[in-house]
Amino acid sequence: MKENMEDRIKRIHKNSAIVDAHFDLLMDVADKREYGHRKVIETSYLPGFIEGGVNIVVSSIFIESVFLPEMALRKAMNQISSLYAEIDESPDKMMICRSCDDIFKALEERKIGFILSFEGVEPLYNDLSLLRVFYELGVRIVGLVWSRRNFAGDGSYFSNVREGKKGGITNFGVQLIEEAERLGMLIDVSHLNDEGFWDVMELAKKPVIASHSNCRSIANTMRNLTDAQIKALAQKGGVIGINASNMLTSCREEDGDTEHLIDHVDHIVKLVGYEHVGLGFDFCDDFMKYFSEDTLAAMPCKPFDVLKGHKSIEQLTRGLMKRGYKDDEIEMIYGKNFLRIYKEVLK
Ligand SMILES: [Zn+2]
C-alpha cells in the first residue's frame, strides 16, 4: 500500500536526528530565572522541540550591546549557569553535549542535547586564555562576531549603516581561530563581514560552518552569503544552516513564508549539493517582546519567523517533499550534515 504524505512526514521525523544549529534561548532563560522562574526550558521550549522532533539544539551565548564591555563575561557565565541549572531540574529530558559521544547519547536516550556556542566572542574581551575556560564549561562552537565589531573582527549588518571602512580578522582573531581549532571547537562565520569571511577561509584548517545564514542572491542583505562564499564554504567541507527570519529570507514583510525558506535550500543544493545544507532557524518571534518600538522601527522591515517555531517543522518537511526531496536528502539537511562536521571537528 502506498504511504500517504502525513505518514511519510512522521517517519522522516522519527528517523532523522534533527539539529537546530542556532537558537538564542539562553538570554530568555537566564532572564526568567533571575525573576524566579524555574524549569523554563521544560515548560516553555520543550513542547515545541518534541512536536517538531528536534533532538540537538545549539544554544548561543549572545550578549546585548548595552552590556558591553564590562558585563559581557558576567552575562555569559550567567547564561551558561542557567543552562546547567535547567538541566539539573529536568535531567531525564535534556543534557549538555560536549562531544560527539554525548550527542549520540542524547539521541539514544531521546533527550534534547544542548551544544553551547558563542554568538560573538565579546565575553573573552581581548583575553585569549579565557577561551579554554569556556571550552571547559562546554562551549564547542565559536561564532566570531555578532553584527558589530569586536576584538576578533567586524560584523555584517542587516541593512546599510553609516560607518567608516571595515576590516577583516584581527591579530586577536587569528590567534583565536588557531586556538579554537586546537581545542576542538568549530568556527562559525554567520554575522561576519565579507572581509572577515574570506580571511577565515584562508586561516581555518578545518571545516567551518555558517550556522544561521541564507543566500544573498535571493535576499540581498550583507547577513547572507554570496554564491562565491557558499561555494568556498562547501569546498572546505562546511555546512550552512538556513535561517527562518524574514529579514534573511525575503527582505520583505509581505512575502515571507516557508516556500521562500525552501528557495534558499534549493539554491544551496543546486550550487553545492545536499551535503552542505542544514537548519539554523534562529527563531526570534518569542524574543520580540524585548525590543522597543524604536528598535523595531529602525530595522529594514518588521522581523518575524517565516516558519512558526520548532513545532512547525513538519510544514517545512511537507514543502521539501512537494518539491521532490527524497527521504535521505531531508535527513541530511535536518541533521546528518551538521553531525558529520561535529564528528570531524569537535574534541
Ligand atoms: Zn544571529
Domain limits at 93? Answer: 5-345
CATH (domain of 81): 3.20.20.140
Calculate what percentage of the chain has a pLDDT beyond 70: 99
CA of 246 to the centre of ligand 1 (A): 13
φ and ψ of 336, to 5 deg: -60, -35
- 56-105 pLDDT tens trace: 999 999 999 999 999 999 999 999 999 999 999 999 999 999 999 999 99
Q: Which amino acid, one-letter code, is at 1?
A: M
Q: What is the mean pLDDT of residues 272-291?
A: 92
Amino acid residing at 26: L
- The helix or strand, by DSSP H or E, that contains position 242, with its residue range, turns out to be strand 240-242
C-alpha cell at 62: 549572545
CA of 263 to the centre of ligand 1 (A): 20
Q: Is pLDDT of 232 > 80?
A: yes
136 Cα–ligand 1 center, Å? 24
* Cα 6 to middle of ligand 1, angstroms: 32
The CA distance from 35 to 114, in Å, is 23
Compute the average pLDDT of residues 156-170. Answer: 86
Q: 219, 245 in Cβ contact below 8 A?
A: no
Q: Cα(170) to centroid of ligand 1, in Å?
A: 21
Confidence of residue 257 (pLDDT cuts 50, 70, 90): confident
Apex 233 CA angle, 187 and 57, nearest 5: 50
Q: Is 219:269 a contact under the CB 8 Å cutoff? A: no
| Beta carbons within 8 Å of 244's beta carbon, 6+ residues apart | 261, 281, 282, 283, 305, 306, 307
| Dist. CA 187 → ligand 1 center (Å) | 14
CA of 192 to the centre of ligand 1 (A): 10
Q: ∠ CA(322), CA(326), CA(329), 5° rounding? A: 120
The tally of domains found in the chain comes to: 1
Within 13 Å of residue 315, how many CA atoms lie on the same side as its CB?
13
